Chain A
């Protein structure tokens, strides 16, 4: 149940539109329990397994659909942002002053947000994969069958797990970010300073994307925390378990960042 609870927490912290797109872990677990109690150790002619596989396939289909849809959107947005940045940077030295400060800030925010969402999609993929692996492991354990290995093989080849494209987009995004953050907009910096004094003036229209912005940040923090917990050590450590996260990274700088975040108070947007 530990994973189930963590998954639930993760889902709660995720962006609203994503919340019902995750793996239905609890439901699958119920089915496993049902199957193991219904048919005992032996599954007769495999009816329970057939139902389970069908359910899993349905889940995979759902996850794939959402993933591909998001991927498509990211491809579009990435290209648009890149175009925008090129337009802004392409003006040359003389025209740099003409870059609107607010525009610059907006673009920067958008890029960071896009980056964040893409990484969250990667996290979505990872979480679902983990869930599938776990439920398959449970199934094998309960029924004594060998569903996991071949099924995981199938999962590995699914679009939602073949995330190379998104990773590439993330890196492209980071490259674009270099460009946009290097465009020094004096007005933008002045605006920042003004802002530091706590200028509360905010346009209502900008608040809507703000909420999303916060969601991304919060979700990223939650994702990192969840990952750390999940990897902190398995009670059923086996051949297919991941090592603890700290072992994977020689140092864990994310803990520093996370500590910083724990001190950070997330301001809830003013409700419109």
Chain B
């Protein structure tokens, strides 16, 4: 199972940091894969060296863990890591089978890559950490090679020969990551919170549901202006793939914040209020103690600074002036005028952004409609033709079958383009 890419990866010196406690895994590797010494040793070496990492680095190590299983297990093979994960965390066992069954279904996008397009569609992983930014240009060839080399091994792998193995492994890696975070998380805050048992089941299922693409419901609730907390659905996969499982992304609307402030005031102010108390008072679904805690922190900071300057401005004499940010050549600008200019500019930018955004939405919508129309007409090779003409009219004619159909989309394109422009006049 030797692969050149693995050696490349190991010698590339990429600082793939491995999170500290993975007690189950080395032992598991020992018992499961005694026959494969090299990669196994390397894997264990990496894990052993990781014990020096402080637990609070959990945030940055999550993805690297992922990265480890992905990019550094070149010749070790995915099946090893995946099975190791399976053994080390019982919940993941069921999830593994779920992942497997899901991945064997072709994704609905129609993309020919049946690989892991489906689950990846809804799942987000900070895999950019696989390519550490500090490494600069050196990162470029090696980790990707390693990554691609890794996936090479996957397809050549032993037990799982179907394509779903890669996706399944990704899911597993994500879940192992999640599980690892779960283990690593600083539980002392949670211990004295009655919300603790609530969070566990919340974090547990999300890792499982990360496989399923469930964006629409939450996304729509996000744009609603209800007072109910809209937990973005992304958190479910994010819980597995993001820095820590507690950071399921909560979208704080003004209404929700208002409820928060009411609760805080009832408890005697931002200094006196505790996250636990606020959470209880708010009685909001999907809201966890972690959300409240971080929000309370932000709230305190926001209130503290104005109070600071308020007090100081009262004490100090009126001679203390605020400089404007802009200064006309040869003369100081009146503060109000400076502010007005700044404001004007900001308003202008906002207006342009709004226009641009609605345009973009409309363009995408029309593009989709066109695509659907052409698909319905069952014109052979038309989808490619649509994108070919859409993406680059300068594209080389390497799609002979679309040459005849090109006329259709092009005229449509002009029509739509005209539509777009005329719609703005």
| A binding-site residues for B, Cβ under 8 Å | 20, 24, 27, 30-31, 34, 38, 41, 43, 45-51, 53-55, 57-62, 64-65, 68, 71-73, 75-80, 84, 100-103, 105-106, 108-110, 112, 115-116, 119-120, 122-123, 126, 129, 137, 140-141, 144-150, 152-154, 156-159, 162-165, 167-170, 172, 174, 177, 181, 187, 189, 191-199, 201-203, 205-207, 210, 213-214, 216-217, 220-221, 223-224, 227, 231, 236-243, 245, 247-250, 253-254, 257, 260-261, 263-267, 269
The docked-state distance in angstroms from the alpha carbon of A137 to that of B392 is 9
Q: Is the CB of A50 within 8 A of B166?
A: yes
Main secondary structure of the interface of B (DSSP, over half): helix
Do A102 and B318 contact each other (CB < 8 Å), given the known contacts A61-B234, A159-B249, A236-B394? yes
Candidates A30, A126, A216; contact of B353 at CB < 8 Å = A126
Mark each residue of chain B from 8 to 51: 1 if its CB lies under 8 Å from any CB of chain A, else 0: 00000000000000000000000000000000000000000000
The docked-state distance in angstroms from the alpha carbon of A79 to that of B131 is 40
In angstroms, how far is the closest chain B Cβ from the Cβ of A240?
5
- List the B side residues contacting A103 at CB < 8 Å: 310, 313-314
Q: Is the CB of A50 within 8 A of B120?
A: yes
Q: Is the CB of B299 within 8 A of A201?
A: no
The reply to whether the CB of B3 lies closer than 8 angstroms to some CB of chain A is no
29 A–B pairs (Cβ distance < 8 Å), ordered by A:
A31-B144, A34-B140, A45-B115, A46-B115, A50-B117, A50-B167, A51-B151, A54-B120, A57-B125, A57-B127, A57-B241, A58-B127, A64-B234, A65-B247, A75-B253, A75-B257, A101-B318, A112-B339, A122-B353, A123-B349, A149-B367, A195-B322, A202-B320, A202-B322, A210-B323, A238-B392, A265-B326, A265-B327, A266-B326
- List the A side residues contacting B331 at CB < 8 Å: 196, 198
Taking A106-B313, A264-B328 as given, write out 6 further A-B residue pairs in contact, using a Cβ cutoff of 8 Å, ordered by the A residue number: A112-B342, A145-B112, A227-B356, A236-B394, A243-B359, A265-B328
Q: Is the CB of B303 within 8 A of A80?
A: yes
Candidates B170, B320, B387, B392; contact of A236 at CB < 8 Å = B392
Candidates A115, A149, A159, A240; contact of B232 at CB < 8 Å = A159
- List the A side residues contacting B359 at CB < 8 Å: 242-243, 248
Candidates A61, A80, A154, A172; contact of B125 at CB < 8 Å = A61
- List the A side residues contacting B343 at CB < 8 Å: 112, 115-116, 177
- List the B side residues contacting A57 at CB < 8 Å: 120, 123-125, 127, 241
The docked-state distance in angstroms from the alpha carbon of A165 to that of B241 is 26
Q: Is the CB of A47 within 8 A of B151?
A: yes
Considering only CB atoms and an 8 Å cut-off, how many residues of chain B contact the other chain?
132
Q: Is the CB of B390 within 8 A of A210?
A: no
Candidates B298, B303, B344; contact of A72 at CB < 8 Å = B298
Q: Is the CB of A72 within 8 A of B252?
A: yes
The reply to whether the CB of B141 lies closer than 8 angstroms to some CB of chain A is yes
- List the A side residues contacting B383 at CB < 8 Å: 146
Q: Is the CB of B416 within 8 A of A239?
A: yes
**Nearest chain A residue, comparing its CB with the CB of B299:** A76
- Beta-carbon contacts under 8 Å, B219-253 to A: 219, 222-223, 225, 232, 234, 238, 241-242, 247, 249-253
Candidates A51, A110, A243, A264; contact of B327 at CB < 8 Å = A264
Candidates A141, A196, A205, A254; contact of B392 at CB < 8 Å = A141
**Nearest chain A residue, comparing its CB with the CB of B413:** A239
Q: Is the CB of B352 within 8 A of A227?
A: yes
